[in-house]
Amino acid sequence: MSVRRLGCLMLLPWSAVAAQKLEKRPLTPQQLEAQLHYQTGRIKVRNGLATLELPPDFRYLDARQAAMVLQAWGNPPGSRTLGMLLPSSRSVFAREAWAVVITYDEDGYVKDDDAAKIDYDDLLKKMQQGIRDENDERKRAGYPTVELVGWAEPPRYDSASHKLYWAKSLRFGDDTARTLNYNIRVLGRRGVLVLNAVAEMDQLDQIKSAMSQVMGFVEFTDGHRYADFVPGSDKVAEYGIAALIAGGVAAKAGLFKVLLAALIGLKKLLVVALAAVAAFFRKLTGGKKTGGVGATPPA
């Protein structure tokens, strides 16, 4: 049985228990789907920070409705995103459903002068060792171990558009299936747009094609673009391209946010004991509230 992880939320299938958290009476997937108001065409996010020029293959849910879906999928309430992108041809509750969660890290202008110098094979080895070093702590805390199997798609940075993408092949705990974690980062004047999608490895070609479309239709608006940076006035981020890929943002965010980032893409468990799910959430949250889910997946 496969388990999917995305790098920012914990996603489980629909259940009556999750429905009751949304309303006092249980909702079926069909009833919840009927409440969703999908947007198409030209979308403005975060009061005009960026725009999405959606082709017919995609539709968008705003932050509030994205939170409803994420909670229905089994995530703790309170997820903070800029919304989510979904394929137009599938229900959000279909077995093969997937989504691209959009967040924003306002950590400053990320310098890209190291992009052409990065040895991505060496970076991968360091990321793999870093994960191995942390697995003992994960096990002691009761969390599944993580293995970074390798690049599903090596990192590539487009210096003209200031867009970065890469994909990782991951394995969690004893799960025999590999998880695809596909990442896009769009660099801007004051921060980075974060777009994360998760699927099974056998969906790589489909997700790769979809994310190449996403790369083309997501843009910062005038005044927020990378080229609009004002030296000496605007904040500069404390990390560069290599750290952005390796998880430098998450490393700054604190342990709890990092743990959430590692588990956010638990997309589906088709058969799960509700008691086990409840116990896992108690272990995950420890009664704490998070300040959002926009961290880069730790690597």
Q: Kindly give the pairing relationship between strand 42-45 and strand 192-200.
A: unpaired
pLDDT of res. 267: 36
Q: Could you tell me if residue 232 is left (phi over 0), alpha (psi between -120 and 50 degrees) or otherwise beta? A: left
Q: What are the distances in angstroms from CA 153 to CA 6, 9, 27, 156, 168?
A: 16, 22, 39, 9, 7
Residue 290 · residue 78 · CB < 8 Å: yes
| pLDDT of 293 | 30
DSSP secondary structure letters along 148-161: EEEEEEEEEEETTT
Angle at 289 between CA 84 and CA 261, to 5 degrees: 50
Separation between Cα atoms, residue 158 and residue 64, nearest integer Å: 32
Q: Which pLDDT score, from 0 to 100, does residue 102 have?
A: 94
Backbone angles phi, psi at 167, to 5 degrees: -140, 140
Tokens coding 121:
């094979």
CATH dotted code for 16-285: 2.60.120.1690
Q: Which residues make Cβ contacts (< 8 Å) with residue 283, sequence separation at least 6?
A: 142, 143
Measured CA to CA, the distance from residue 82 to residue 87 in angstroms comes to 17
Q: Note whether 225 and 48 are within 8 A (CB).
A: no
Residues 122-160 have pLDDT tens digits of: 999 999 998 898 888 878 877 778 899 999 999 999 999
User: For residue 32, what are its two tokens?
Assistant: 């919840």
Q: How many CB atoms lie within 10 A of CB 240?
A: 17
The tens-digit pLDDT sequence of the chain (299 residues) is 343 434 434 343 334 344 445 445 657 778 888 899 999 999 999 999 999 999 999 999 999 999 888 877 766 677 789 999 999 988 888 877 788 999 999 999 999 998 999 999 999 999 999 889 888 887 887 777 889 999 999 999 999 999 999 999 888 888 888 888 889 999 999 999 999 886 778 888 888 899 999 999 999 999 999 999 999 999 999 999 999 998 743 333 333 333 333 333 333 321 222 222 223 333 333 332 223 333 233 33
pTM of the model: 0.75
pLDDT of the residue at 271: 20
Strand partners, 45: 50
Dihedral sign (CA 144, 148, 257, 101): negative
Listed residue (121, 36, 45, 27) closest to 81, CA to CA: 45
Residue type present at position 214 = V
Q: Give the start-to-end residue ranges of the domains of the chain.
A: 16-285
195 with 183: CB under 8 angstroms? yes
